[in-house]
């Protein structure tokens, strides 16, 4: 009962904030706190699913938090998630930014990969690309540095290799992550960037030398993991990524390749899994795409605009040499997003999913889905 009451109160606050966002400022202007939040209402219908997925409607994600600014160059963020009746910590960090140099410490995404770092309200489809979910980064406790100028963005950091909600005792392990973006073309709001990223991780003692990669269909409504590779006898892990982002007026393009390599004990073969996706968007009716040079991500075209989107994704967790067949998935999605205003948007998409015979749930199958989302964010 307490959880439901809290959820209702939060949604009411979100609704009020849509008309007048709450911001607190000090008299001298050296401190500012702004309320942030989101609520996502999802629904989906599934067709020809060999695994009975069931049609669903749910409140997928609810967030509440605050962003603070103080002493000109200092900012901080505290955000909590309340999805699926569970409380979880999201971005919780403090940073110093003088325009070119950014230092950050706290709990946030490592500087590796692109797609899975995009917030749920900014995702082009109801779910992130499956390759990003399978091989992308996660939020971790750590410290990082970013150098950012017109043509270059370089980030690196040291992080714990343990999730913040993992209560097991013992050595947590560590991870070293880095990402480099080069912008060969930048003219006003039009930008093209190419980037590479890498991550090296060593697990803690409590992990029992096993790494697990898993992902489902491109939908947040499905709990089933259609791809799953359990890599035993792991010594350490390398991840590599390459990305391209283009923002050209009303056109947007994003593509990424990710690979995971696990070094294992001499008695077994090393493991390799990889995947890639490409997605394109066009803004109709009004507005144009933007670009955030600090994060290296495209921004939405704005109020009263309609995005038309298309994405193709291949994720492969099969490695015959290593004796691990986690399944391979191809999926194709088309969709659209209409932005009523800066706070409310509606999404609709169709996806076709094809799984090979090694998929851990019911093997080879092909199914499709239609999904929708109403989102409120501020």
Whole-angstrom Cα Rg for the chain: 21
pLDDT average, residue stretch 108-123: 84
108 touches 143 (CB < 8 A): no
User: What's residue 8's pLDDT?
Assistant: 40
Q: What is the mean pLDDT of the chain?
A: 88
Alpha carbon of 197 to those of 101, 105, 151, 204, 220: distances in Å?
19, 20, 17, 23, 26
Delimit the domains of the chain by residue range.
Answer: 31-377
Q: Which residues of 275-313 are buried (b: 16+ CB within 10 A; e: fewer)?
A: bbbbbbbbbeeebbbbbebebbbbebbeeebbbebebbb
Determine what percent of the chain falls in helix, strand and coil, rounding each to the nearest 5.
10, 60, 30
Give the tokens for residue 57: 């409607």
Distance from C-alpha of 305 to C-alpha of 297, rounded to nearest angstrom: 19
Task: Place 233 in a pLDDT band, splitting at 50, 70 and 90.
Answer: very high
What average pLDDT score do residues 19-48 get?
A: 84
Q: For the chain, what is the total number of helices (H) and then of strands (E)?
A: 2, 21
In this prediction, residue 18 carries a pLDDT of: 40
d(CA 324, CA 230): 7
Asked if residue 162 has pLDDT above 80, the reply is: no
294 and 302 in contact (C-beta within 8 Å)? no
What pLDDT, on the 0 to 100 scale, is given for residue 53? Answer: 72
Q: What are phi and psi of 115, to 5 degrees?
A: -60, -45
DSSP classification of residue 237: E
* Coil vs helix vs strand at 16: helix
Closest CA to 14 of 49, 33, 42, 40: 40
Confidence of residue 207 (pLDDT cuts 50, 70, 90): low
Q: What is the pLDDT of residue 337?
A: 96
d(CA 133, CA 273): 13
Among all chains, which residue has been given the structure tokens 């060999």?
50
Dist. CA 200–CA 364, nearest whole Å = 33
Are 132 and 113 in contact, with CB atoms under 8 Å apart?
yes
What backbone phi and psi angles, to 5 degrees, belong to 134? -70, -45
Work out the pLDDT band at 158, boundaries 50, 70, 90: very high
CA distance 253 to 65: 30
pLDDT at 238 over 70: yes
> In this predicted model, what pLDDT tens digit does every residue of 329-350 receive, in sequence order?
999 999 999 999 989 999 999 9
Residue 298 confidence (pLDDT): 92
pLDDT (mean) for 315-335: 97
With pLDDT > 70 as the criterion, what percentage of the chain qualifies? 90
Residue 143 has pLDDT above 80, yes or no: yes
Structure-block tokens of residue 2: 């307490």
Residues 6+ apart with CB under 8 A from 304: 285, 286, 287, 339, 340, 341
- Within 8 A by CB and 6+ apart from 280, the residues are 251, 252, 253, 254, 309, 310, 311
H helical segments located in the chain: 2-19, 130-135
pLDDT score, position 166:
59
Residue 258 or 81, more confident = 258
Which CATH superfamily does the domain covering 31-377 fall into? Porin (2.40.160.10)
Q: Exposed/middle/buried for 226, CB within 10 Å: 0-12, 13-18, 19+?
A: buried
pLDDT at 39 over 70: yes
* Geometric angle at alpha carbon 82, from 6 and 53, rounded to 5°: 120
């Amino acid at each position: 009962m307490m959880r439901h009451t809290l959820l209702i109160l939060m949604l009411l606050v979100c609704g009020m904030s849509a008309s007048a966002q709450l911001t607190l400022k000090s008299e001298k202007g050296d401190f500012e706190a702004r309320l942030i939040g989101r609520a996502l209402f999802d629904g989906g219908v599934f067709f020809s699913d060999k695994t009975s997925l069931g049609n669903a409607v749910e409140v997928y994600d609810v967030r509440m938090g605050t962003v603070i600014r103080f002493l000109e160059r200092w900012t901080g963020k505290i955000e909590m998630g309340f999805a699926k009746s569970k409380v979880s910590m999201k971005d919780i960090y403090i940073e110093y930014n003088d325009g070119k140099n950014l230092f950050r410490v706290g709990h946030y995404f490592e500087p590796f990969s692109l797609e899975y770092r995009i917030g749920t309200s900014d995702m082009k489809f109801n779910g992130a690309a499956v390759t990003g979910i399978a091989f992308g980064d996660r939020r971790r406790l750590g410290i990082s540095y970013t150098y950012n100028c017109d043509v270059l963005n370089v980030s690196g950091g040291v992080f714990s290799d343990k999730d913040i909600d993992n209560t097991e005792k013992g050595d947590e392990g560590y991870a070293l992550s880095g990402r480099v973006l080069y912008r060969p073309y930048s003219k006003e709001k039009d930008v093209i960037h190419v980037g590479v990223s890498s991550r090296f991780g060593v697990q803690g003692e409590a992990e029992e030398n096993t790494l697990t990669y898993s992902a489902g269909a491109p939908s947040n409504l499905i709990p089933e993991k259609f791809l799953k590779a359990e890599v035993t006898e792991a010594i350490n892990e390398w991840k590599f990524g390459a990305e391209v982002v283009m923002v050209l007026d009303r056109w947007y393009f994003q593509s990424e390749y990710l690979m995971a390599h696990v070094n294992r004990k001499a008695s077994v073969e090393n493991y390799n899994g990889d995947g890639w996706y490409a997605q394109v968007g066009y803004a109709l009716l009004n507005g144009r795409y933007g670009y955030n040079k600090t994060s290296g991500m495209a921004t939405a075209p704005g109020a009263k605009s309609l995005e038309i989107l298309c994405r193709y994704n291949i994720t492969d967790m099969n490695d015959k040499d290593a004796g691990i067949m986690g399944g391979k998935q191809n999926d194709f999605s088309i969709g659209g997003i209409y932005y009523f205003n800066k706070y409310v948007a509606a999404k609709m998409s169709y996806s076709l999913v094809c799984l090979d015979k090694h998929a851990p749930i019911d093997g080879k199958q092909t199914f499709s889905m239609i999904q929708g989302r109403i989102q409120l964010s501020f």
